[in-house]
Chains A and B, each alone.
Chain A
Amino acid sequence: MHARPSEERAGILQGDCAALTARVIAFITAPSAADFDALALAAHRHQYTANPPYRRFVDRLGVTPTHWTEIPAVPASAFRDSVLCCGPAARVYESSGTTEGLEHRARHHVADVAVYRAAALAGFARAWLPGNTRRPFVVAAPERTTHPASSLGEMVSWVRETHATEGPSSFLGPDGLDVEGLASALDAMDGRPIVLLAVTSALLRLVDHARRVNRRWILPSGSVVVDTGGCKGYGEDLSRATVLERYHERLDVPATSVLNEYGMTELCSQLYAWGTEPHRPPPWLRTLVCDPATGRERPLGEPGLLRHVDLANAHSAVVVQTEDVGRAVDGGIVLLGRAAEATARGCSHLVRPTEDRQR
């Protein structure tokens, strides 16, 4: 019996989806700069075919890209308003909420989790730990079991499953941070180098706690702190240098042993930075710095909005325009914060669209 037309089309799309997944994973496994353009355009064409809101977006702009830099950038806010997914979603990751209400939070519908997993693990491995290395982990970040809709939680769980020898459950649960439990876990270090993987706000609260109880730890030589999320949720906006100083003050960890992860719900790939170095994307992610008014790329060193071309977003939106501000430098991106949090000039009334970007 022949399949009906809609089933037939769905079958073709699923076949396209699988083929694209295979190509992207192959690229992540063995990147080749020469293939980036073709793969980005293939992802764009796939999304144009299989993702109606994306097609309407491209048609509205009236563009037919012939190079990866010409692929239209979907505004990150579109993830709040539309389902941007080629086919049914295997997982839906959600940002933690917005000031406009939980119903307006960003949702990334991921059709094939294998691509996200490959990108997350390969990115982490490239930034620091090769795939076959295992260490004791101490975690104060979302995990899959406690934060099932968090893309960060998913990633943290994959990283722990791949790289951890042992370690207690995350000290960041659904009800918040167990700072005393985290402190006790550090008390129990046995001299082997550890991975302290945490959201930045949790580590800053640990520092505050340590100051109150006059406690200080010396992380064993070779240990690494991996943090993410910035100061959001801490209540005080600190410079990166200050954050690193506080880590050093109470954990005796040099800035060169602190790895910062930058990611967002709407992306399957991440950028990493050691200490105060710029954030570096993996080969399957290219980040442009653009002028918000014209959309054009800014010169090296000039601040602008980050636009990510992420091959791992092959089944959602391959190019995402964010409101994160940064400037391009040789070898990476210097993050400068969020534009929406910049000060307004006037006394005219302004309702700020301040999304909460926790993943």
Chain B
Amino acid sequence: MRPATIAPDALRTRIDTAEAAATALRAMGIDARIAAIARLASDWLDPDFGPRQRALAELPGATGYAPGAIRYAIDHLWAALSASELAAALAERRMGDPERLAFHSLAGNVPGAGVFGLVAALLAGVPSVVKTAEREPLLPVLVAETLAAVEPRLAAALAIVHWPGGSEIHQRLIATRASIVLAYGREESVDAVAESGSQRVLRFGPRLSAALVCREAVNPSTAAITARQVALFDQQGCLSPHYVLVEDTAGAGDAFVTALAASLRDLATELPRAALPLGEATRAWHYLERQRWREQEGAAVRVLADDDARYSVVCDRSGSPPASPLNRHVVVLPIDDVRHARDLLAPLVGAIEAIGVAAPSPRLAEASALAAACGAHRLCPLERMQAPPFSWRQSGYDRIASLMIAPREGARPSAGLAEHRRPTGDVTAELVT
């Protein structure tokens, strides 16, 4: 069902109401705000919680994702918003002056992807207008409704609305009122939002992730874990692995590729891929045919896929790896060592969001160096790629500091890993927990 479009006058009223709630929001104090969010998270993790059950029932139809993927998204979203996680994310951070009003323009690619931003705004004391995505209008509304039951002062500072992308009258209105914009989604969507006003824009545009499998972890179990990270959300999110760098010794890489394809085949049943629009199905077909043709003509490529292109694994040793068309098409890049991985990922520096790692502790420093070289914002265990912590510096932004009027050091996208080790969003911390 398409979400209802808010009338401009109603939008104006909602903005007024949210702004008016800022005083009470800020008066609450940070500990009270953390406690309220944590209570909300606890509610959502309760299997009997009605709104949770409604989300689990309705989101598969709205998004196309399998029920198992939706459950995964909801469980990990709210687990990341426990009191301890929030307190850790805010530790040692001096709060500055919050922005006047945030406008969140959400994307519908991964359920709940914009919720961290809303929570960050509430913790920072910034009232928010949230424009839902056409594809997933439900979860933000449920979050606001359930928050109202837990703590009305927080809920009053949130306005969840919808209008069709490109509506100039709505865009102009919000541009005159918001002091900061959090823009998610495709490059064109982010550009359109950014160009509509002169506010500061936090750009959560297109990015991709990679997995690093060190030789000690090259086995069928790691392949199964990798497959699940590929299959969850059909590579629509920036934390989905597109490339899997596998340290290859004595042919173990080939066995890994076979196991990865087998796991993706099994997941096509357990977590069926969303039905694809014609354009995306064509991209997948084009990609797969191209790789099959390269293999046929003798390129150093091995292609494993099913007949209906529901998934594929392309093992590429050519040195010129293809770009995934998304939707469960993953490229395995056999490497001699981690240094080799840097060379292969060099063309993607600046586009990589996260590196998921399967490696023993003594080798994590190599993975950390790779992430730094790639400009990745997150380094995490392979099995946690799709379960980010609240402290994750998405697109390089510190969630809280970036919502303050005078951003402190680290509030802007960081160029490398060192920058975001300073606050609590320490990427190495994810590896040791």
Contacts and interface: CB of A to CB of B under 8 A. Distances in A.
Contact of A347 (B107, B277, B284): B107
A292 B237 contact: no
Contacts of B292: 60
Given A303-B278, A345-B109, A348-B326, A353 B283 contact: yes
B109 A293 contact: no
Nearest to B347: A351
A325 B205 CA distance: 28
Interface in B273-304: 276-287, 289-290, 292-294, 296-297
Interface in A276-327: 291-294, 303-305, 321, 323, 325
B146 interface: no
B238 interface: yes
A339 B278 contact: yes
Contact of B107 (A53, A82, A291, A346): A346
A65 interface: no
A348 B276 CA distance: 15
A184 interface: no
A293 B204 contact: no
B282 A323 contact: yes
Which bucket holds chain B's interface residue count? 35 or more
A60 B236 CA distance: 31
B206 A81 contact: no
Contacts of A323: 282, 286
Nearest to A77: B290
Contacts of A57: 293, 296
B43 to A, nearest CB: 28
B62 to A, nearest CB: 13
A325 B285 CA distance: 13
Interface in B371-427: none
B179 interface: no
A296 to B, nearest CB: 11
B308 A293 contact: yes
Interface string B343-362: 00000000100000000000
A77 B240 CA distance: 27
Interface string B100-111: 000000011110
B186 interface: yes
A345 B238 contact: no
B184 interface: yes
Interface in B150-208: 184-186, 188, 204-208
A108 to B, nearest CB: 16
B236 A340 contact: no
B239 to A, nearest CB: 9
A75 B204 contact: no
A4 interface: no
A345 B185 CA distance: 8
Given A75-B290, A293-B309, 20 more contacts: A77-B290, A78-B289, A82-B297, A293-B308, A323-B282, A325-B278, A339-B281, A339-B282, A342-B280, A345-B109, A346-B234, A347-B109, A347-B113, A347-B185, A347-B238, A348-B235, A348-B238, A349-B242, A350-B283, A353-B290
